[in-house]
């Protein structure tokens, strides 16, 4: 593999010593664009940091050195075309040979301009867009009410304001949390304090505590409980049980909606694998030690005796580690349907648990015969028999800790400082995130349809959805047409693969109902938030969310609920869910550099088109291929097709495992990232085929004399401009299922013949290796 990939194991070249094969007077071109934007479009400010004297000097140069304009293509003269042309060129490093390192060629300028802030470990185009989104939402959340707006807007504004009010939060201290602990019967580690409740092992009621934590506070412990669409009857809901999360500790709002969902980029505080590694992997002993100390410090801050806290938390982390190990020993192996009586195995009374937890609106209530989909029968069976032999004090300490750890972000600065000490060890960030950013993020996560409505009213155009649907149609058609020439998938399987592609549901922009004031207000009618009760606002939200989800058990499935349960419109990401075979493209992603209605189609297909292809391909990657068109986990391909897929996937694994991050000189984990790599490679091919096969000749951008093919690949590559600290490089290698940005560019382009042809890369060069790994083509 090493020989065939030529120099793929070499570190990314970040130097400027390679002579370009594409001569360009980029300063003159940039000045031309700058002048055109300034004069023709009357732009009063330019976002790039160019000194006034430099501008004047370059304008003089421009007069004598106008860049040539090809006569065979029109030039796009919209404001967005000028803005994007400036961005394309300023992001590049044209002193690098594109065939030697296309990431540096496409992103060298962007990387030079960006440094990693102290509260982060990497920056990227995505993080820049997310920062911009936070800025926009901050303005919306702080805006005074206006006539005719939905009344539910006050909820998100009050919650945001309560989060910003640190004076009130600090004054309340730990009392909001200790009051909750007292109401639950006390946390054993706190002893005789009111929040300890003089806990008594003989009166411990496992099912009652579990029901209160899950039903009222939304905490998923021991077994993950949910209600989902019944795969056998898409109009009904059914109870489900599966493995729990081990994400330690919580750093904000838990993104439960992302469970089982593939995301385009990693969600920073959503790494279930990291939690298991901290608990079980010896190479994470420092993080585990920090986690133990974190638990002790939180318990002591709540009033525990330090000696007692040390002993109790030591037992707690051993309990949690044993449970995590059971999930590793008994991974997902298919779904069975049990009754509540059967799943409890006469150890846990699941019927009583649900009767205590379900809202009164669930009518009829549940009995021993209530069906439940068991997604993890091996784990649940083994953990049930294991837990019956565990000490009640340890069980209670663990169960309450799961709530405490999720509520720490909503307490005062004493607790936030303790949390930050832990994050220094795990997240490697030197300073905490600015408070207002935390407040915006939490409000957007919790009240995602209110913030989504605010965002789309202000920053989203209606025709974007229809234009994106056209791209979806063309990319999906391109994927299906590729099946005709696919030489490894058995003919009998090509039909069912095409059927699954056709069956994929697509949600774009926002759900229509949020534009109706009455419907939006009705959604949040039972939820309140005040401007001085940040902790209590979160408690109310948790109960509203948990009880609302459980109440669906006897309700009909609502249109587009499933896809929009992934996330709201104000999210810079894209998602695919195999269990419902659906794709979500939120409104906040549909902006430059991904999409703009005034840009040539090669920009849009190189942007959102590839993302759509990426999400479609997830339906057929190493995990998506295990689910049929209806979301059932089953074997639906012939064995020969499966074997051929695994052989081609292994090529991808080997290729990406050869890539090295120069910040730490460590190789990527190609096995860990294979699903995302397969999706990147497939999405790039599908969108390129859709673009070149459906779109008439497009205008050039001002000052850029590239072919449409070159612009397509440049557009794709500049999505992934990114800079890492050494800690960020380690984090992406250890914990992310996505390859880092540099290799999302290099890996997919090395495998793409059309790219090599577009940039005339010699056979055997770094960007055009002899061996090309291809799965979907």
Active site residues: 615, 680
Q: Which residues pair with 262 in a beta bridge?
A: 576
Which residues fall within 8 angstroms of residue 264, CB to CB, at 6 or more apart? Answer: 573, 574, 575, 589, 611, 614, 615
State the SS3 of 633-674: ECCCCCHHHHHHHHHHHHHHHHHHHCCEECCCCEECCCCCCH
End-to-end CA distance of the chain: 21
Nearest one of 472, 469, 588, 459 to 126, comparing CA atoms: 588
Output Rg (C-alpha) for the chain, integer angstroms.
27
CA 322 from chain center: how many Å?
28
Q: How far apart are CA 747 and CA 740, in angstroms?
A: 10
Structure tokens belonging to residue 18: 């390679």
Express the helix, strand and coil content of the chain in percent, nearest 5 each.
55, 10, 35
Number of C-beta neighbours around residue 384 at 10 A? 18
The answer to whether 330 touches 309, Cβ cutoff 8 Å, is no
Query: What is the phi-psi region of residue 138: left when phi exceeds 0, alpha when psi lies from -120 to 50, beta otherwise?
Result: alpha
Which residues fall within 8 angstroms of residue 311, CB to CB, at 6 or more apart? Answer: none
Which SS3 state, helix, strand or coil, does residue 333 take? coil
The answer to whether 150 touches 517, Cβ cutoff 8 Å, is yes
Number of C-beta neighbours around residue 528 at 10 A? 16
CA 286 from chain center: how many Å?
27
Q: How far apart are CA 504 and CA 511, in angstroms?
A: 17
Q: Which residues pair with 586 in a beta bridge?
A: 509
Pairing of strands 233-242, 666-667: unpaired
Helix or strand run (H / E) with residue 484: helix 463-485
Q: Which residues pair with 223 in a beta bridge?
A: 221
The answer to whether 165 touches 531, Cβ cutoff 8 Å, is yes
Structure tokens belonging to residue 536: 């209590």
How far CA 613 is from CA of 262, 525, 583, 606, in Å, comes to 13, 38, 10, 10
Which residues fall within 8 angstroms of residue 364, CB to CB, at 6 or more apart? Answer: 554
Q: How far apart are CA 179 and CA 506, in angstroms?
A: 44
């Amino acid at each position: 593999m090493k020989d065939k990939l030529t120099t793929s194991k070499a570190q990314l070249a970040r130097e400027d010593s390679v002579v370009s094969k594409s001569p360009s007077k980029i300063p003159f071109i940039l000045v031309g664009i700058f002048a055109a934007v300034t004069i023709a479009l009357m732009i009063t400010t330019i976002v790039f940091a160019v000194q006034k004297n430099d501008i004047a000097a370059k304008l003089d140069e421009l007069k004598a050195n106008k860049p040539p304009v090809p006569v065979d293509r029109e030039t796009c003269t919209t404001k967005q075309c000028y803005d994007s042309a400036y961005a394309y060129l300023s992001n590049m490093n044209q002193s690098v040979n594109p065939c030697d390192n296309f990431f540096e060629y496409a992103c060298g300028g962007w990387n030079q301009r960006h440094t990693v802030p102290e509260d982060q470990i990497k920056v990227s185009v995505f993080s820049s867009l997310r920062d911009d989104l936070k800025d926009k939402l901050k303005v919306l959340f702080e805006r005074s009410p206006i006539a005719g707006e939905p009344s539910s807007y006050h909820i998100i504004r009050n919650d945001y304001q309560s989060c910003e009010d640190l004076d009130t939060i600090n004054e309340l201290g730990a009392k909001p949390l200790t009051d909750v602990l007292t109401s639950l019967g006390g946390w054993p580690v706190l002893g005789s304090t009111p929040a300890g409740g003089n806990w008594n092992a003989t009166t411990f009621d496992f099912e009652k505590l579990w029901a209160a934590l899950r039903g009222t506070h939304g905490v998923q412990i021991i077994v993950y409980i949910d209600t989902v669409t019944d795969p056998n009857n898409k109009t009904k809901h059914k109870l489900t049980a599966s493995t729990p999360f081990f994400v330690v500790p919580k750093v904000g709002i838990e993104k439960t909606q992302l469970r089982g969902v593939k995301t385009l980029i990693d969600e920073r505080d959503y790494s279930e694998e990291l939690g298991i590694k901290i608990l079980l992997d010896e190479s994470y002993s420092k993080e585990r030690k920090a986690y133990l100390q974190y638990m002790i410090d939180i318990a002591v801050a709540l009033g525990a005796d330090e000696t007692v806290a040390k002993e109790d938390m030591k037992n707690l982390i051993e309990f949690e580690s044993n449970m995590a190990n059971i999930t590793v020993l008994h991974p997902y192996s298919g779904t069975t349907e049990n009754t509540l009586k059967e799943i409890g195995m006469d150890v846990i009374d699941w019927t009583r648990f649900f009767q205590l937890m379900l809202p009164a609106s669930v009518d009829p209530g549940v009995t021993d015969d209530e069906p439940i989909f068991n997604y993890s029968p091996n784990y649940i069976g083994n953990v049930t028999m294991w837990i019956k032999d565990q000490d009640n004090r340890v069980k209670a300490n663990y169960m309450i800790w799961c709530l405490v750890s999720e509520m720490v972000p909503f307490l005062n600065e004493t607790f936030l400082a303790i949390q930050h000490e832990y994050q220094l060890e795990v997240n490697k960030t030197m300073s905490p995130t600015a408070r207002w950013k935390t407040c915006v993020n939490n409000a957007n996560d919790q009240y995602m349809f209110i913030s989504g409505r605010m965002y789309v009213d202000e920053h989203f155009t209606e025709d974007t959805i229809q234009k994106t649907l056209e791209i979806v149609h063309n990319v999906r058609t391109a994927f299906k047409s590729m099946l005709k020439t696919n030489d490894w998938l058995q003919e009998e399987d090509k039909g069912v693969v095409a059927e699954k592609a056709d069956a994929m549901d697509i949600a774009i922009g926002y759900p229509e109902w949020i534009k109706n004031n009455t419907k939006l207000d009705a959604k949040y009618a039972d939820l309140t938030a005040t401007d001085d009760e940040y902790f209590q606002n979160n408690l109310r939200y948790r109960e509203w969310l948990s009880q609302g989800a459980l109440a669906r058990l006897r309700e009909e499935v609502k249109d587009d609920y499933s896809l929009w349960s992934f996330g709201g419109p104000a999210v810079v990401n894209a998602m695919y869910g195999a269990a419902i075979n659906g794709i979500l493209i939120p409104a906040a992603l549909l902006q430059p550099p991904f999409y703009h209605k005034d840009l040539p189609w090669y920009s849009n297909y190189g942007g959102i088109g590839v993302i759509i292809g990426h999400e479609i391909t997830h339906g057929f990657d190493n995990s998506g291929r295990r689910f049929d068109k209806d979301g059932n986990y089953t074997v639906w391909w012939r064995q020969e097709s499966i074997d051929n897929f695994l052989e081609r996937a292994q090529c991808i694994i080997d290729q990406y495992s050869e890539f090295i991050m120069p910040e730490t000189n460590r190789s990527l984990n190609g096995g860990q990232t294979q699903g995302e790599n397969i999706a990147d490679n497939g999405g790039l091919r599908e969108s390129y085929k859709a673009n070149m096969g459906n779109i008439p000749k497009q205008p050039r951008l001002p000052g850029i004399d590239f072919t449409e093919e070159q612009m397509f690949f440049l557009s794709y590559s500049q999505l992934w401009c990114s800079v890492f600290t050494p800690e960020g490089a380690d984090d992406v290698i250890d914990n992310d299922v996505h390859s880092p940005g540099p290799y999302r560019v290099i890996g997919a382009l090395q495998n793409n013949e059309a790219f090599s042809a577009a940039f005339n890369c010699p056979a055997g060069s770094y960007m055009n290796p002899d061996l090309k790994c291809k799965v979907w083509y």
